[in-house]
Amino acid sequence: MPDPALPAFSLDDMGGANHVFPDAAPTIICFVKEDCPTCNLIMPVLDAMHASGVRVLAPGQTADGNQIMIDKHHLDVPVLDDSALKVSFAYDLDTVPMMFATDAAGIESSRVIGFDKGEWQSFIADHAPDAAIDWDALPDWRPGCGSLTQDPLIADRLRAESENSPLRARKIEIAPADDVHEFLYDQGFTDGLPVIPPTPERVLRMIGGTKRDSQEVIATMPPNMAPATVEKIAINAVMAGCKPEYMPVIIAGIQAVCTDEFNIHGVMATTMGATPVMIINGPIRHRLGMNMKLGALGQGSRANMAIGRALRLCCRNIGGARPGGTERSTLGNPMKITMCFPEFEERSNWEPLHVERGFDAEDSVITVFAMSSGPTICIDQSSRTAKALAGSFATSMEAQHNVRAHMSSDTILVVCPEHVDTLANDDFSKDDIREHIQYVTARPLSELVSTEDIGGGISPERLAAMPPERREQRVPKFASKDNIHIVVAGSDAGKFSGVFHGWAGGAIGSIPVSQKIED
């Protein structure tokens, strides 16, 4: 049985020219890397072999290092870009330099490893006898260096690629005596609570929850500007306690928060303590068993809690947003662990949030908001008219940031079902609620000035510089009624609605983003 040919490859040299092996000609292949002294020692020898008319290819393991060697030794021999290390891995290298001689069919006839002068002289006499080499200038022996393919941080990825596995992330070996949960906490992978260890089997199952390729880059995540691949998202989803079927929602959430409009870096870094609030609409709410009724904004629902937590773990472990690093919240915020809930569309008299935002009713959609606190509870158990109830919402919402800080940005009003009924009795639309909130909260600028007893408003000097008519101009709480986002959630019992206070809005802050959820 004939000897098998060495693995075929096609690589570009550092000038962009492509080189294919085998190519119907005897070839010498020598794998090198720039930080190996022995590789640098033999580069002029390879160049001399090339100059003698022999086909020589030198796959180099780092692109920058290849160029350094070319410049340092003034090389003409083709130095090929194997910085992906796929060819080096296919050749099962453990040491560089490693040199192979092959015939026209790519079948190996001999090889040398490292540098032994006697072995190299014999090799070159057989395969490049016309090469002009100053052997007296070379030492008798030099050891080789370890191939980059033996780096444990790289080897698992290359092995997974060679086996066509969807997993590429670095694997971390934990000593048998170590507590895996304590290890994950010590490594900073958690939000302070225990996480599910992301074993390969669990991650593979999680990836199975989406039709996307495991290495598809969903977004580039600040502040590290790291690629959020499906695999990396799946790892964090495992740790958060998700089921595979949650993956499409988490992926859509990552896409939404990583837009320029949402500005996740600013949201996570602000000292105000802002964080994404995720609202889910459409059929997927039922498919995942999400809780939109009793306790919808609290604990108890795996889907609600785990989806919100998965997004935040991605921000932490992929993006690098960690407390004490780029995350500088003065007090912190429990919503930085999780806040995700579905709208109770079936209990609403109005268009659901996603339809208001331009989607079809049958679409499944996630909308992300940058909120600094909440939910604060608006208690009104006595109003019997829509106008009075909307006024109660208004006076509760006026406390956002500071009672005297008007022209605020986005806020979320979560209306409970009993309050929905009161509003429906008078046929109040969402826009009626918004306009009444703006009307009730409107205050003359003269009432929004800071005093010796109460701060947080405009300065007395600024007010004094205004013309009298401007001082009495009434300013509503929110910069626009469109900054008031209204959804329905909660149980049928209890007249307790909720308000989330927003962060900075517009181009200087964050703009709510909606993203269709797709498998």
pLDDT in tens, 459-469: 999 999 999 99
pLDDT in tens, 14-28: 999 999 999 999 999
CA atoms within 13 A on the CB side of 37: 5
With cut-offs at 50, 70 and 90, classify the pLDDT of residue 158: confident
Please give the domain boundaries of the chain with CATH numbers for all domains: 9-152 (3.40.30.10), 251-442+477-516 (no CATH)
pLDDT in tens, 272-298: 999 999 999 999 999 999 999 999 999
With cut-offs at 50, 70 and 90, classify the pLDDT of residue 4: confident
Provide mean pLDDT across the span 142-155: 90
Give the 3-state DSSP-derived string for 435-480, with helices as H, strands as E and coil as C: HHHHHHHCEEHHHCECCCCCCCCECHHHHHCCCHHHHCCEECCECC
Nearest to 507 by CA among 222, 253, 219, 262: 262
pLDDT of 356 > 70? The answer is yes
**How does the average pLDDT of the chain come out, rounded?**
95
The model's pTM: 0.77
With cut-offs at 50, 70 and 90, classify the pLDDT of residue 2: low
Question: What's the CA gap between 297 and 292, in Å, rounded?
Answer: 8
pLDDT of 416 > 90? The answer is yes
pLDDT of 388 > 90? The answer is yes
With cut-offs at 50, 70 and 90, classify the pLDDT of residue 3: low
Question: What's the CA gap between 158 and 282, in Å, rounded?
Answer: 41
Angle at 398 between CA 448 and CA 378, to 5 degrees: 160
pLDDT at 1: 42
What is the 8-class DSSP label of residue 246?
A: G
What is 21-85 written as a DSSP string? ES-SS-EEEEEB-TT-HHHHHHHHHHHHHHHTT-EEEEEES-HHHHHHHHHHHT--S-EEE-TT-
137, exposed or middle or buried, with CB in 10 Å at 0-12, 13-18, 19+? exposed
